[in-house]
Amino acid sequence: MITQLISFLEQFSADGRRLQFLDVAKQRTRYLTIVLEDIYQTQNASAVLRSCDCFGVQDVHIIENRNSFNINPQVVIGATKWLHLHRYNEEKNNTRQALRKLKDDGYRIVATSPHHNDVDLEALNLHNGKLAVVFGNERDGISEIVKEEADEFMKIPMFGFSESLNISVCTAISIQHITSQLRNSEISWQLPNNQLNELYLEWLKKSIKKSGLLIEEFNKRNNTNF
């Protein structure tokens, strides 16, 4: 029935816009997801979301312990409209809950921090299954809980006098490298058809004026409840 609703709504969307939605949705991935722990600078938070959209990462998991995750509209430039943001902020410390939820969903937790068992970004094995890459906040990096829960550790090799990168730069480099490697691999990194259709439908609804009223009309005609 979802395909029938899509066909119905497509009548109210321009051809070019529909093709763009489909092209972008086909490049989206959930094989990689990004986890942000206690980011507090709006510039960094927004730049990370923009990078996720640019490189096709659909889901971002946001852990808010001491710091609220705020977005700068001038930096994000509408990227949040096309992403799924999962926020964890109901407990005093939400990190373990978030990471265990991701593990239950089949992700291995990759912490971005120098560690005695770490690997360089280029050596990260993408064939071992879905990965959730965790980035810590601007001052302290990842927490001890992340280190406890992590399955693997990864670092970006650096060769200058500076010992670290800005969080938004670090995230962009990591996402670009990993998604590029995925697209050049035989790994099934794209969304399955049911998720692809759901995402395409979601974007159609967001782009069509009064889509809610149109869906009501569709439901009446077909005795459904979308």
| pLDDT tens sequence across 73-89 | 777 677 889 999 999 99
Give the residue among 65, 156, 69, 79 at the shortest CA–CA distance from 110: 156
| pLDDT tens sequence across 138-151 | 888 899 999 999 99
- Please check whether residue 120 is in contact with residue 156, taking contact to mean a CB–CB distance below 8 angstroms: yes
pLDDT band at 199 (very low <50, low <70, confident <90, very high): very high
223 belongs to a structural domain = no
Q: What is the CATH number of the domain that holds 128?
A: 3.40.1280.10
pLDDT at residue 72 tops 80 = no
| pLDDT at site 177 | 98
Owning domain of residue 80: 29-191
Check whether 121 is labelled as a binding-site residue. no
When pLDDT is averaged across residues 20-31 and rounded to a whole number, the result is 97
When pLDDT is averaged across residues 45-62 and rounded to a whole number, the result is 95
Residues of the chain with pLDDT > 90, as a percent, come to 75
pLDDT at residue 32 tops 90 = yes
H or E stretch at 141: none
121 belongs to a structural domain = yes
β-sheet bridge partners, residue 85: 60
56 belongs to a structural domain = yes
33 belongs to a structural domain = yes
8 belongs to a structural domain = no
| pLDDT at site 35 | 97
196 belongs to a structural domain = no
- Amino acid residing at 214: L
When pLDDT is averaged across residues 103-109 and rounded to a whole number, the result is 98
Check whether 42 is labelled as a binding-site residue. no
Residues of the chain with pLDDT > 70, as a percent, come to 99
Q: Report H helices in the chain.
A: 2-10, 15-25, 42-55, 73-76, 95-104, 144-149, 167-183, 193-207, 211-222
Check whether 156 is labelled as a binding-site residue. yes
| pLDDT at site 223 | 87
- Please check whether residue 91 is in contact with residue 119, taking contact to mean a CB–CB distance below 8 angstroms: no
Q: Report phi then psi at 154, rounded to 5.
A: -135, 145
- Structural domains counted in the chain: 1
Give the residue among 57, 60, 61, 73 at the shortest CA–CA distance from 24: 57
DSSP state of 80: G
- Please check whether residue 109 is in contact with residue 132, taking contact to mean a CB–CB distance below 8 angstroms: yes
- Amino acid residing at 41: Q
Tell me the two tokens of residue 209. Answer: 């004026």
51 belongs to a structural domain = yes
H or E stretch at 33: strand 32-37
| pLDDT at site 69 | 86
37 belongs to a structural domain = yes
